[in-house]
């Protein structure tokens, strides 16, 4: 229990720091980037929306920095992120609401698949050390881990989209021939558009799982209790899964959460290459349109999502591994 | 394996969630089959960089291109590509009064709004007076020159001008869509009115609109019998160029208004029915800040103009889509009839780096130790130039210009800004050089030249200049522009434009480099009637309003 | 950009002292001088096949970065040729849509990428050493607060933070990119170094130095850091790899300076000109492949240093592995 409180405390601290970074960044930048944006929209916004913007970026206000900070925190916790400048007059919240499910679907599914497949391959590869799998897998995936995500996406686009015409490679669905509805044709459209981006994400992230799991397995296989199990004559598969893998997977689990930050980064670039309408793509749009309210909100969203995932993984690890509880 | 089965469920669940909640606009559409298999449907591919807000106010700058022309109509259609050729729309006839101080329109009878009610001169009067009452709505800028609009006679409306402003016919008659008084008079604040279900006299109605797509269906009450032949128009929202280009390339959109890189490989090679045409409209110019002491020296600007290889900027930076401009500022071939070639041969600014260096030498500049031209006072010809970073073709063009000017010893440092920052710097004059084009286009070179040269359009540094960003002030030119505004004689208009060309060639307030174009692609497979270079009956871009109405009225299934 | 592969403890942010397998270079009773550690590393690289490949690749890139003019004779910036030419003997990779020689761009771009890799890699490692080793050695409140700070920064996703900062700065030159990357990505290696330094804290040679009365700073710099040489090199390689990937990604999405010649900016122009769709795939594939190969070089070298650090990972020689079933 104490462990859970510690972790929750850490989570809250990090959340607070992320919020504060978000608040301070535009004020720290040279030349106040938001000023241009506010002046651009001066004629088009109603006074309340303009005032909200000014509060968000601390322009033209007579209040102290602390007062602005408190108002900012209050707005964040009531879900008021202001109006989007590039999707004006839609509110930031509604814009994000439309995009988030695309990313959750794509990234969530691809990551789980990568974790599952990668961990499995890592286990087998470590078990058969020196064998064929092990001599091929580590070097291949070491190299794969250094390949930029967006390049893999581009290669997939080139081969499967443009040269072979097997799969669509732009957007989440075909906007001019399909409307979002509960029809099989729409689902099929969504699925076919999701295949290539998911494949890109899978290829680039699976290497991490394979190798981390493999390394952890190898370390675990050197432990005494494994040798004991072997001496006792237990079947190999049982040792591999029940003794070694179960213990080796734990560092992988927390590593899973930590690497979620990287997965999210990769997803941003993959969405960009595929014009996939998720939050990553939206973040880049916000950047090019100097839509700072949207950009800030997306950054917060991504950070919070990663934090929550880490928290969950930590608690799961604590539940599964007594060692971390005593050490913490 | 158990794990895989769970994953399968997760996969389905995740994508289900994505599918259900993906529409971010005003709710999902009724799932109506929007498959454009019917030949009488046209799908537009125009990337607007945003999802639709489903507002259609014709007097809101961010939504008017979606309703003016489709749903709302002006009094007269004025074709800028045919030197202002007029086609009567809601007005059947018009006459200028004495001294060109009044303009009387005869309003067409028998026109109905798309809700079945009749359009009368009262609606016309109401529309204009609404713009007067709410200046924020007056996008065409009519009331800068009007003093009153009244109904005079059972089907006539007379407009009175403060001073003669003949060129304003384009804005008043051609760019002011007429709205129904019955609906708009009840709106307390039309400036913020969204107009989600627009009621107009035009050939189409909005039915329905979602964040991702607008469907227009034919207006059964349209006043032109038998038209439109096209029964449905799809206007999907694209947030990126690539997606929009892809729709054109694979044939799902027939009418494009896109910048497509390498258009031959991307688009025209895909089908013999794919065509494109890019009619030039305004100049993209290197804009000097004339308050800068070095740039205020006309010889420096002359040297720059001679040193720029416009043909190369056009072919490398713009892939040949945008033709080279001329220093006279007349866009060709659109306005070729206005260009005085004797002037352009007298003041020759064709590519000549040697001559440019000579001009700089005569201005007292010599190459410094770092190769940059410097004068006796130690002032270097090194400038920053602001550019819109999003327009990769402009960034590429600037690289060519940079190399051209480097060759004669002028150093340019490009500063690629995002649009809002760029506009802020440009309008307030906080720049040295800028690369930009005028945002509005009219049926003659007067309109662009007036934007650049009229001192009423400028402002001191730090204040917002409307269109004269370079801060050019010349009372003689102002007088010329006023004289032009007061005449309907083509001979006099041509003479004045000739004098304006002389100003451009001798004083170089801006340096035109290439000519911006309307982006336009069209597929003739199932639909005919498209505007072409030999038949330029309207501006062909889908974002040109109200021209797109003319295009849609001409189109028909084969 | 997947998570760095490392045999050193990846036990999550579970707290200061998580379960750690044996780490650190095998140190004898006397503190080995840095030179001996370096020669040991060189030997390890040579004997490990993967590391040798990585070292050779890196060496090639460095050579190209130092002497680009020898290999590519064209000016990478000049729009001197006909646009969109295909591969030929005159243009080994063809020309871009602007008429620039692609091969020259790739070769000259190497310099920019290597500068980013080495400068950002060194700077990031420097900060990581400062924070990580200081935290481990100073202990107590210092350790607590520095570790907390590190953990927090570790958890905040770096790339979105990079994007936001770069967006406020309206993108930037190479220097800005290096600065921004350095400031945000030191936390992972700081953690690694801290764990390593912690495990060394109670070694005899350090106790001897303390007994001798040496100052803490002296001990940190002269005694502790040299024993961590192999880990330091591994950290540098990791940071260099991430600097390259982050910088290229930022340039790709347009937050770099599009006028510099670099692999990331080549990708930016390729994307803007729909290179893949218009039959110019080399424009996107070539620079991307270079990033991948350079990254692989760093990763392969890093892989070798993992094995130096964690003997359990060393590849098994062709002795028969006992397969229990």
- The CA distance from B385 to the nearest CA of chain C, in Å, is 13
- Is the dihedral angle over the CA atoms C207, C210, C216, C218 positive or is it negative? negative
Nearest to B254 by CA among B543, B548, B47, B527: B527
pLDDT at residue B10 is higher than 50: no
Mutate to test the interface with C, among B316, B387, B400 (most CBs of C within 10 A): B316
Q: Residue B529 gets which letter from DSSP?
A: -
Cβ contact, residue pair B24, A40, below 8 Å: no
Q: Is the pLDDT of residue B234 over 60?
A: yes
- Is pLDDT of B103 > 90? yes
Report the chain A residue with the minimal C-alpha distance to residue B50: A87
With a cut of 80, say whether residue A142 has pLDDT above it. Answer: no
Query: Rounded CA gap, B237 and C118, in Å?
Result: 44
Give percent above pLDDT 70 in chain B: 93
The beta-carbon neighbor of C276 closest among A146, A157, A230 is A157
- What is the band of A326 on the pLDDT scale with cuts at 50, 70, 90? low
pLDDT of B134 strictly over 80: yes
d(CA B178, CA B374): 58
Mean pLDDT is lowest, of B72-76, B170-174, C313-317, for: C313-317
Share of chain B above pLDDT 90, in %: 71
pLDDT at B298 over 90: yes
pLDDT at A78: 87
C172 touches chain B (CB under 8 A): no
Q: Is A117 on the interface with C (CB under 8 A)?
A: no
What's the pLDDT band for B122 if we cut at 50, 70, 90?
Answer: very high
Angle at B295 between CA B293 and CA B299, to 5 degrees: 115
Strands B41-45 and B232-236 come out as parallel
Say yes or no to pLDDT of A303 above 50.
yes
| Residue contact A236–C323, C-beta within 8 A | yes
Give me the mean pLDDT over the B345-360 stretch.
Answer: 94
Model confidence at B6, pLDDT cuts 50, 70, 90, reads very low
Nearest alpha-carbon partner for A177 in B43, B553, B228: B43
Average pLDDT (B484-494) is 92
CA distance B212 to A176: 9
Please provide the average confidence, as pLDDT, over all residues in chain A. Answer: 79
Q: How far apart are CA C135 and CA C144, in angstroms?
A: 8
> To the nearest whole angstrom, how far is the Cα of C211 from the nearest Cα of chain A?
30
Q: So what's the ipTM on this one?
A: 0.82
CB contact under 8 A, A129 and C321: yes
Say which DSSP state B286 is in. Answer: E
Mean pLDDT of chain B: 89
Interchain CB contact of B210 with A (< 8 Å)? yes
Q: What percent of chain A has pLDDT over 70?
A: 82
Higher confidence at residue A144 or residue A116?
A116
DSSP codes, A38-105: HHHTTTTS-HHHHHHHHHHHT-S--S-HHHHHHHHHHHHHTT---B-STTTTSBHHHHHHHHHHHHII
Let me know: does B515 contact B528? Beta carbons within 8 Å: no
Instruction: Say if CB B359 and CB B299 are below 8 A apart.
Output: yes
Query: Is the Cβ pair A112, B7 closer than 8 Å?
Result: yes
Question: Looking at residue A176, what is its pLDDT?
Answer: 64
- A139 to C300: CB separation less than 8 angstroms, yes or no: yes
Q: Hey, what are C19's tokens?
A: 């379960």
pLDDT at site B347: 93
Task: Write out pLDDT tens, residues A198-235.
Answer: 998 888 888 777 877 877 888 888 888 888 888 888 88
B424-461 confidence digits (pLDDT tens):
899 999 999 999 999 888 999 999 999 999 998 898 99
Q: Between residues A237 and B122, which one has the greater pLDDT?
A: B122
Surface of B (231-270) touching A: CB under 8 A? 234, 236-240, 242-243, 246-247, 252-253
Nearest Cα residue in chain A from B390: A288
Residue ranges in chain C modelled with pLDDT below 50: 1-31, 317-325
Chain B interface, best mutation among A38, A85, A172, A175, by max B CB count within 10 A: A175
CB pair distance less than 8 Å for C272 and B261: yes
Q: Please, which pLDDT band fits residue B5 given cuts at 50, 70 and 90? A: very low
H or E element, residue C294: helix C281-309
Q: Which residues of A touch B18 (CB under 8 A)?
A: 101-102, 104-106, 172, 190, 194
**Region A243-267 average pLDDT:** 73
**Range of lowest pLDDT (A140-144, A253-257, B279-283):** A253-257
User: Among A265, A290, A327, whose Cβ lies nearest the Cβ of C1?
Assistant: A265
Q: Does C280 touch chain B (CB under 8 A)?
A: yes
Residues 6+ apart with CB under 8 A from B11: A109, A113
The Cα–Cα gap between C309 and C313 comes to: 9
pLDDT tens figures, B518-539: 999 999 999 999 999 999 999 9
- For residue B170 the two structure tokens come to 């384009």
Chain B residues 413-432 within an 8 A CB cutoff of chain C: 414, 416-418, 421
The answer, yes or no, to whether residue A66 has pLDDT greater than 50, is: yes
Q: What gap in Å lies between CA C116 and CA C246, rounded to an integer?
A: 10
A32 inside 8 A of chain C by CB:
no
Helix A184-221 to helix A132-145 angle (10° resolution) is: 120
Residue B28, pLDDT score: 33
> Are residues C3 and A237, on separate chains, in Cβ contact within 8 Å?
no
Burial class (CB in 10 A: 0-12, 13-18, 19+), B292: middle
Other C-beta atoms lying within 10 Å of the C-beta of residue C163: 28
| Domains with residue ranges and CATH for chain A | 2-77 (no CATH), 100-320 (1.10.3720.10)
Alpha-carbon torsion, ordered A97, A102, A103, A108, to 10 deg? 120
Over 80: is that where the pLDDT of B25 sits? no
Residues shown for chain C: 325
Q: Phi first, then psi: what are they for A51, rounded to 5°? A: -60, -40
What average pLDDT does range A285-309 have in this prediction?
Answer: 84
Q: Output the pLDDT for position C325.
A: 40
Among candidate residues B154, B71, B77, the one with its CA nearest the CA of residue B113 = B71
* Structure confidence at residue B117 (pLDDT): 94
**What's the pLDDT at B14?**
45
Of residues A244 and B335, more confidence is placed in B335
pLDDT tens string B149-158: 999 989 999 9
> Closest-CA residue in chain C for B419?
C170
- Please choose, from the candidates C274, C250, C312, the residue with its C-alpha nearest in 3D space to the C-alpha of residue C6: C312
pLDDT at B480 over 90: yes
Q: What is the rounded average pLDDT of the residues B182-199?
A: 91
Burial of B299 (0-12, 13-18, 19+ CB in 10 A): middle
Does the pLDDT of residue A308 top 50, yes or no? Answer: yes
Give the C-alpha distances (Å, rounded to integers) separating B115 from B204, B220, B546: 12, 9, 21
Which one of A149, A162, A235 has the shortest CB-CB distance to C277?
A: A162
Q: For the ranges A291-295, B217-221, C56-60, which has the lowest average pLDDT?
A: A291-295
Least-confidence region, from A23-27, B162-166, B223-227, C111-115: A23-27
Query: Which residue in C165, C2, C242, C243 sits closest to A260, CA to CA?
Result: C2
């Amino acid at each position: 229990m104490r462990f859970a409180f510690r972790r929750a405390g850490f989570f809250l601290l990090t959340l607070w720091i992320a919020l504060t970074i978000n608040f301070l960044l535009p004020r720290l930048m040279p030349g106040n980037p938001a000023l241009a944006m506010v002046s651009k929209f001066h004629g088009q916004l109603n006074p309340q929306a303009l005032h909200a913007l000014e509060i968000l970026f601390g322009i033209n206000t007579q209040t102290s920095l602390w007062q602005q900070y408190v108002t900012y925190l209050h707005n964040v916790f009531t879900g008021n992120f202001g109006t989007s400048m590039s999707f004006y007059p839609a509110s930031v919240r509604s814009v994000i609401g439309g995009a988030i499910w695309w990313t959750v679907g794509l990234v969530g599914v691809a990551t789980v698949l990568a974790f599952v497949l990668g961990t499995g391959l890592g286990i087998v590869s470590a078990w058969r050390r020196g064998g064929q799998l092990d001599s091929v897998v580590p070097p291949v995936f070491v190299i794969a881990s250094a390949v930029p995500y967006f390049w893999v996406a581009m290669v997939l686009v080139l081969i499967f989209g443009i040269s072979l015409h097997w799969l669509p490679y732009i957007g989440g669905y075909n906007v001019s021939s399909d409307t979002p509805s509960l029809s099989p044709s729409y689902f099929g459209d969504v699925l076919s558009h999701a295949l290539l981006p998911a494949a890109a994400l899978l290829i680039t992230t699976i290497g991490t799982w394979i190798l981390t799991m493999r390394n952890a397995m190898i370390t675990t296989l050197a432990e005494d209790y494994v040798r004991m199990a072997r001496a006792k004559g237990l079947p190999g598969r049982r040792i591999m899964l029940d003794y070694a893998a179960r213990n080796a997977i734990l560092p992988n689990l927390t590593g899973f959460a930590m690497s979620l930050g990287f997965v999210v980064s990769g997803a941003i670039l993959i969405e960009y290459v595929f014009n996939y309408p998720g939050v990553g793509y939206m973040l880049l749009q916000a950047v090019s349109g100097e839509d700072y309210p949207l950009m800030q909100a997306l950054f917060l969203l991504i950070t919070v999502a990663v934090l929550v995932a880490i928290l969950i993984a930590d608690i799961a690890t604590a539940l599964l591994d007594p060692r971390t509880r005593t050490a913490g | 394996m158990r794990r895989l089965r769970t994953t399968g469920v997760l996969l389905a669940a995740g994508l289900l969630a994505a599918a259900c909640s993906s529409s971010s606009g005003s709710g999902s559409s009724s799932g109506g089959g929007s498959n454009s298999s019917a030949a009488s449907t046209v799908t537009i591919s125009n990337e607007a960089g945003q999802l639709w807000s489903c507002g259609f106010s014709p007097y809101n700058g961010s939504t008017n291109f979606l309703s003016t022309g489709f749903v709302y109509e002006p009094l007269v259609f004025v074709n800028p590509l045919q030197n202002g050729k007029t086609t009567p729309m809601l007005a059947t006839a018009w006459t200028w009064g004495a001294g060109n101080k009044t303009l009387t329109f005869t309003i067409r009878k028998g026109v109905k709004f798309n809700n079945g009610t009749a359009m009368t001169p009262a609606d016309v009067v109401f529309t204009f007076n609404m713009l007067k009452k709410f200046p924020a709505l007056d996008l065409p800028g009519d009331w800068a020159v009007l003093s009153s609009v009244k109904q005079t006679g059972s089907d006539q409306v007379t407009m009175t001008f403060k001073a003669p402003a003949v060129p304003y016919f384009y804005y008043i008659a051609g760019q002011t869509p007429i709205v129904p008084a019955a609906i708009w008079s009840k709106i307390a604040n039309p400036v913020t009115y969204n107009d989600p279900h627009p009621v107009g006299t035009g050939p189409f109605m909005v039915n329905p609109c979602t964040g991702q797509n607008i469907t227009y269906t034919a207006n059964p009450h349209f006043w032109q019998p038998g038209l439109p032949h096209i029964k449905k128009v799809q206007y999907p929202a694209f947030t990126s160029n690539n997606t929009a280009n892809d729709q054109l390339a694979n044939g799902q959109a027939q009418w494009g208004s896109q910048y497509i890189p390498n258009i031959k490989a991307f688009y025209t090679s895909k089908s013999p029915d794919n065509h494109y045409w890019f009619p030039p409209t305004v100049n993209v110019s290197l804009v000097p800040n004339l308050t800068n002491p070095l740039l205020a020296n006309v010889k420096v600007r002359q040297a720059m103009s001679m040193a720029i290889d416009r043909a190369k900027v056009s072919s490398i930076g713009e892939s040949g889509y945008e033709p080279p401009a001329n220093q006279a500022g007349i866009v060709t071939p659109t306005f070729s009839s206005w260009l005085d070639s004797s002037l352009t041969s007298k003041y020759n600014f064709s590519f000549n780096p040697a001559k440019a260096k000579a001009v700089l030498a005569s201005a007292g500049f010599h190459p410094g130790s770092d190769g940059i031209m410097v004068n006796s006072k130690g002032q270097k010809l090194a400038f920053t130039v602001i550019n819109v970073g999003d327009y990769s073709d402009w960034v590429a063009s600037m690289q060519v210009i940079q190399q051209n000017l480097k060759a004669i010893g002028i150093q340019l440092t490009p500063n690629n800004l995002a649009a809002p920052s760029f506009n802020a710097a440009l309008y307030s004059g906080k720049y040295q050089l800028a690369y930009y084009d005028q945002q509005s286009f009219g049926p003659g070179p007067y309109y662009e030249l007036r934007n650049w040269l009229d001192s009423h359009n400028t402002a001191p540094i730090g204040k917002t200049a409307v269109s004269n960003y370079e801060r050019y002030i010349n009372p003689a030119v102002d007088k010329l522009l006023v004289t032009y505004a007061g005449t309907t004689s083509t001979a006099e208009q041509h003479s004045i434009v000739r004098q304006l060309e002389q100003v451009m060639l001798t004083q170089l307030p801006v340096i035109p480099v290439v000519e911006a174009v309307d982006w336009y692609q069209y597929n003739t497979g199932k639909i005919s009637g498209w505007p072409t270079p030999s038949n330029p009956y309207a501006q062909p871009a889908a974002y040109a309003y109200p021209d797109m109405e003319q295009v849609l009225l001409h189109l028909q299934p084969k | 950009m997947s998570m760095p592969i490392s045999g050193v403890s990846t036990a999550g942010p579970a707290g200061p002292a998580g379960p750690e397998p044996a780490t650190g270079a095998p140190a004898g009773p006397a503190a080995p001088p840095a030179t001996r550690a370096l020669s040991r590393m060189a030997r390890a690289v040579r004997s490990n096949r993967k590391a040798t490949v990585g070292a050779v690749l890196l060496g090639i890139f460095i050579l190209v970065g130092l002497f680009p003019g020898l290999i590519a004779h064209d000016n990478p910036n000049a729009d001197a040729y006909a646009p969109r030419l295909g591969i030929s003997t005159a243009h080994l990779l063809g020309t871009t849509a602007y008429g620039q020689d692609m091969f020259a761009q790739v070769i000259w771009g190497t310099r920019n990428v290597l500068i980013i890799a080495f400068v950002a890699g060194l700077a990031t490692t420097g900060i990581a050493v400062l924070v990580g080793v200081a935290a481990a050695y100073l202990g107590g409140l210092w350790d607590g607060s520095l570790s907390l700070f590190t953990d927090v920064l570790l958890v905040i996703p770096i790339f979105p933070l990079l994007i936001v900062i770069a967006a406020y700065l309206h993108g930037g030159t190479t220097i800005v990119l290096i600065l921004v990357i350095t400031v945000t990505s030191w936390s992972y290696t700081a953690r690694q170094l801290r764990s390593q330094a912690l495990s060394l804290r109670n070694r005899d040679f350090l106790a001897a130095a303390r007994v001798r009365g040496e100052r803490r700073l002296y001990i940190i710099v002269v005694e502790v850091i040299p024993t961590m040489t192999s880990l330091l090199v591994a950290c540098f390689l990791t940071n260099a790899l991430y600097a390259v990937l982050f910088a290229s990604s930022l340039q790709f999405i347009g937050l770099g300076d599009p006028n510099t010649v670099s692999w990331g900016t080549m990708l930016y122009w390729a994307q803007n000109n729909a290179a893949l769709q218009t039959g110019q795939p080399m424009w996107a594939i070539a620079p991307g492949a270079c990033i991948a190969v350079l990254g692989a070089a760093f990763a392969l070298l890093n892989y070798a240093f993992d094995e130096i650090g964690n003997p359990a990972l060393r590849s098994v020689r062709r002795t028969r592995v006992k397969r229990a079933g």
